[in-house]
Every structure is written in structure tokens, then in C-alpha cells.
Amino acid sequence: GNSVTQMEGPVTLSEEAFLTINCTYTATGYPSLFWYVQYPGEGLQLLLKATKADDKGSNKGFEATYRKETTSFHLEKGSVQVSDSAVYFCALSDEGFQKLVFGTGTRLLVSP
């Protein structure tokens, strides 16, 4: 079945550092890929998405590129802020964005 694997956290960075959170997936066909963010006490917010190979999703300074050859969708940001501290989930959907399969999440802690 479909699955998503994320790097374990927590990832601890200083403000303005470069961020990479690794995500790889296993799926049949051509899934759509997502990054969601969860702040404490809240639900999930869509951060960015990509629907086909080589697509780059971007939002709020975050970027991720759909790499079919390496089955990866790594999240990057050039300069993190304290306010980026949250849990980040990589996810895939194989049928029209309906059923989502999530990774286990990566907690990001950014210190001033």
C-alpha cells in the first residue's frame, strides 16, 4: 500500500538557519503530494502541494519539488523564523485529493 516516510525530529535550528525536512513516499500510480503544518492545539493547515512530477510547490518561503525518480518531496526554507516552530507532515493522495496518507510528522523547533 501507499506510505510516507519522514525524517525523525525534533529538528532544532537557530533563527535564519536553512531548513530541510526529508520526505520519501511509496505509491502506485502518480500521487499528489502535500506538506501540512500543525501548530500546538490546532488542526492541520495545508502548506503547499504538487500534483505531478517536477512540480514545485511553494508558500510562505517554503518550497518542495516532486521528484519521481527519487520518490521524494523534501521541504526546504532558506531562513526559518521562531514562528515556524510547529510539526510538519508530509502526505500523499492517490485519488483526487480525497484520502490522505500521512507520515509521522517532524517537529521543528526554532530558537531566537
Which chain residues interact with other proteins by CB under 8 A?
4, 34, 36, 41-46, 49, 51, 89, 91, 96-105
Q: How far is the CB of 89 from other proteins (least distance, A)?
A: 5
Q: How far is the CB of 28 from other proteins (least distance, A)?
A: 16
Cell triple for 112: 531566537
**What's the 3-state SS for 65-86?**
ECECCCCECCEEECCCCHHHCE
> Identity (one letter) of the amino acid at 36?
Y
Distance (Å, rounded) from C-alpha 16 to C-alpha 7?
21
Q: How far is the CB of 14 from other proteins (least distance, A)?
A: 25
